[in-house]
Amino acid sequence: MSIKVSMTVNGKPVSAQVEERTLLVTLIREELRLTGTHVGCDTAQCGACTVHMNGKAVKSCSMVAMQAEGANIVTIEGIAAADGTLHPMQAAFKENHGLQCGFCTPGMVMNAIDLAKGNPNLTETEIREGLEGNLCRCTGYHNIVKSIAAGAKAMAK
């Protein structure tokens, strides 16, 4: 009933003995105590659980941990520089007031970074469509869209 799972999380190799039914998000939050990745729904719509798996944004609530066996996982805790300097996308969210309660924010930032990779000139439409898998109840998305546009530009610098 229990199984060993190993992967790289935020640059560090980790392994854990977990029940096979353990979701990736549960592994991240409960085993690794990286609680920045959130759970906001149970039908894969809200995107608060978004992490990067091998560089791509995925919903960590929609996969069992074993599906990430051997993968390179990055969570919100692994985004800022080692000295604490915010990633350009994080900084853009702060500068543009792209967050309020902060709960959807990690998922937003993780998806935004992936969306902006190689796309410095994202249009408003591209950003809004790119956020189909992330729900925010506070900001009305207005400043999130602004943040991502600014963050995408800053990432290219």
Partner 1 sequence: MHAFSYHKPSTLGDALSLVAKQSEGKILAGGQSLVQAMKLRLASPTDLIDLSGIKDLAGIKVEGSSVTIGAMTRHADVENNADVKKMIPALARLAGGIGDRQVRHMGTIGGSVANSDPAACYPAAVLGLGATIVTNKRKIAADDFFKGLFETALETGELITAVTFPTVKRAGYIKFKNPASRFALVGVFVAETSGGVRVAVTGAASCVFRATAIEKALTAKFDPDAVPADTIKADTLNADLHGSAEYRAHLITVMAKRAVTQAVGK
Partner 2 sequence: MNAPLIGARIERKEDYRFLTGAGQYTDDVTLPGQTHAVFVRSPHAHATLKSIDKSKALKAPGVLAVFTGEDLKVGGLPCGWLITDVNGQPMKEPVHPSLAQGKVRHVGDQVAVVIAETLDQAQDAAGLVEVDYGVLPSVTSTDKARAKGAPQLHEIAPDNTCYVWAIGDKAACDAAFSKAAHVTKLDLVNNRLIPNAIEPRAANGMYSRADDSYTLYVASQNPHVERLLMTAFVLGLPEHKVRVVAPDVGGGFGSKIYLYAEDVVVTWASKQINRPVKWTCERSESFVSDAHGRDHVTTVELAMDKDGKFLGMRVKTTANVGAYLSTFASCVPTILYATLLAGQYTTPVIHCEVTAVFTNTVPVDAYRGAGRPEATYVVERVVEQAAREMKLDPAEIRRRNFIKTFPYQTPVALMYDTGDYEATLSAAIKMADVAGFPARRKASEAKGKLRGLGYAAYIEACGIAPSNIAGALGARAGLFEAGEVRMHPTGSCTVFTGSHSHGQGHETTFAQVVADRLGLPIESVDIVHGDTSKILFGMGTYGSRSIAVGGTAIYKALDKIIAKGKKIAAHLMEAAETDIEYDRGVFKVAGTDKQKTIGEVSFAAYVPHNYPLDKLEPGLNENAFYDPTNFTFPAGSYVCEVEIDPDTGVTKIEKFTAVDDFGNIINPMIVEGQVHGGLTQGIGQALLEGCKYDPESGQLITGSYMDYTMPRADDVPNYQVDTRVTACTHNPLGVKGCGEAGAIGAPAALMNAITDALQVYGINDLPMPASPQTVWKTIQNAKQKKAA
Binding site for partner 1 (CB under 8 A): 1, 3, 19-21, 23, 42-45, 47, 50, 53, 56-59, 61-64, 66-67, 69, 111, 114-115, 130, 132-134
CA 109, 110, 113, 115 dihedral sign is negative
Cα 7 to its chain centre, rounded Å, is: 17
Each residue 81-110 as x (binds partner 2 by CB under 8 A) or -, in order, gives ---x-x---x--xxx-x-xxxxxxxx--x-
How are the residues of the chain apportioned to helix, strand and coil, as percentages rounded to the nearest 5? 35, 20, 45
Q: Which is nearer to partner 2, 68 or 111 (CB)?
A: 111
Q: Which is nearer to partner 1, 90 or 134 (CB)?
A: 134
Q: Which of partner 1, partner 2, none lies near 50, with the C-beta cut-off 5 to 8 A by kind?
A: partner 1
The site for partner 2, by CB under 8 A, has a size of 58
Residue 36 to residue 56: CA distance in whole angstroms:
18
Cβ 53 to partner 2 shortest distance, Å: 17
How wide is the angle at C-alpha 90 spanned by C-alphas 88 and 94, nearest 5°? 110
